[in-house]
Amino acid sequence: GQNIDQPTEMTATEGAIVQINCTYQTSGFNGLFWYQQHAGEAPTFLSYNVLDGLEEKGRFSSFLSRSKGYSYLLLKELQMKDSASYLCAVMDSNYQLIWGAGTKLIIKP
Amino acid sequence: EADIYQTPRYLVIGTGKKITLECSQTMGHDKMYWYQQDPGMELHLIHYSYGVNSTEKGDLSSESTVSRIRTEHFPLTLESARPSHTSQYLCASSEGGRHTGELFFGEGSRLTVL
């Protein structure tokens, strides 16, 4: 079967750095996506990786290793507004997105 | 600013009622999707469409139907609602090609079936 694994919950301190990991097993691979979802709101797109390596976008970076079936989202200079769930999703060989259950990130002052 | 709209945002109905959740987007996207999401759980694909007159079922059998008569409009209908249908329903759209996985979501329709 296909599955996406990510930690259920993480806690970090305002101003610090946090890394959210995602491992996947899917039938085929056509890209990995990270989304942010604030409580009670819809997900919003953060990043896309299709080749190995690091993609940087402001305070957020996303890394991919296809051989290891592994990705991480790195958030720097954490702000209170970064408290949200972070969803990892992989596009399979049928170009369908397979979603993880999300990592709830709690930021403490 | 979201260019994809869902109505109603909240709905409470009785068992056996027929309901339609509306979804419209103004971005001209060919691909549209309906997802179901319970709190703290992953998104489950219910239906999707890759263009006008094209609809497919996703991995979650939700006893619902969809139609795609116009590019911008993708309504979801439950013929006979049950308490097990209580959930958040999210509509999304995307461009094709390498942007297929960059979904734009509506604000969601939270359905409660009594």
pLDDT per residue as tens digits for the range A76-87: 999 999 999 999
Distance separating alpha carbons of residues A74 and B88, to the nearest angstrom: 28
Q: With a cut of 80, say whether residue A11 has pLDDT above it.
A: yes
Task: Say whether A89 sits in a helix, a strand or coil.
Answer: strand
Q: Which residue of B has its CA nearest to A43?
A: B105
DSSP letters of A36-88? EE-TTS--EEEEEE-SSEEEEETTEEEEEETTTTEEEEEE-S--GGG-EEEEE
**Taking a C-beta distance cutoff of 8 angstroms, is the pair B92, B106 a contact?**
yes
Task: Say whether B97 sits in a helix, a strand or coil.
Answer: helix
CA torsion A30→A32→A36→A42, rounded to 10°?
A: 20
- Å between A15 CA and nearest CA of chain B: 26
From A4, A99, A101, residue closest to B40, measured CB to CB: A101
pLDDT at position A20 = 98
pLDDT at position B59 = 80
Distance separating alpha carbons of residues A64 and A87, to the nearest angstrom: 15
The tens digit of pLDDT for each residue in A50-91 reads: 999 999 999 999 999 999 999 999 999 999 999 999 999 999
Tokens of A93: 């060989």
pLDDT at position A90 = 96
From A96, A101, A104, residue closest to B42, measured CB to CB: A101
Verify whether the Cβ–Cβ distance A96 to B105 is below 8 Å: no
Is B100 an 8 Å CB contact of chain A?
yes
Residues of A in contact with B106 (CB under 8 A): 42
Half-sphere exposure of B4 (CA within 13 A, CB side): 28
DSSP 8-state assignment for residue B53: T
pLDDT at position A43 = 95
Q: What is the average per-residue pLDDT within B29-50?
A: 93
Q: What is the average per-residue pLDDT within B4-22?
A: 96
Percent helix, percent strand, percent coil in chain B, to nearest 5: 5, 50, 45
pLDDT at position B60 = 77
Of A7-16, B22-31, B93-102, least confident by mean pLDDT is: B93-102
Is B108 an 8 Å CB contact of chain A?
yes
Best of A24, A45, A85 to mutate (most B CBs within 10 Å, chain B) = A45
Q: Which residue of B has its CA nearest to A87?
A: B42
Question: Across all residues in chain A, what is the average pLDDT?
Answer: 95
The tens digit of pLDDT for each residue in B63-107 reads: 899 999 999 999 999 999 999 999 999 999 999 877 789 999 999
Q: Classify the C-alpha dihedral A45-A51-A54-A56 as positive or negative.
A: negative
Half-sphere exposure of A30 (CA within 13 A, CB side): 15
DSSP 8-state assignment for residue B70: B
From A45, A95, A96, residue closest to B102, measured CB to CB: A45
Verify whether the Cβ–Cβ distance A42 to B45 is below 8 Å: no
Question: Across all residues in chain B, what is the average pLDDT?
Answer: 93
Give residue B61's pLDDT band: very low, low, confident or very high (50, 70, 90): low
pLDDT at position B2 = 60
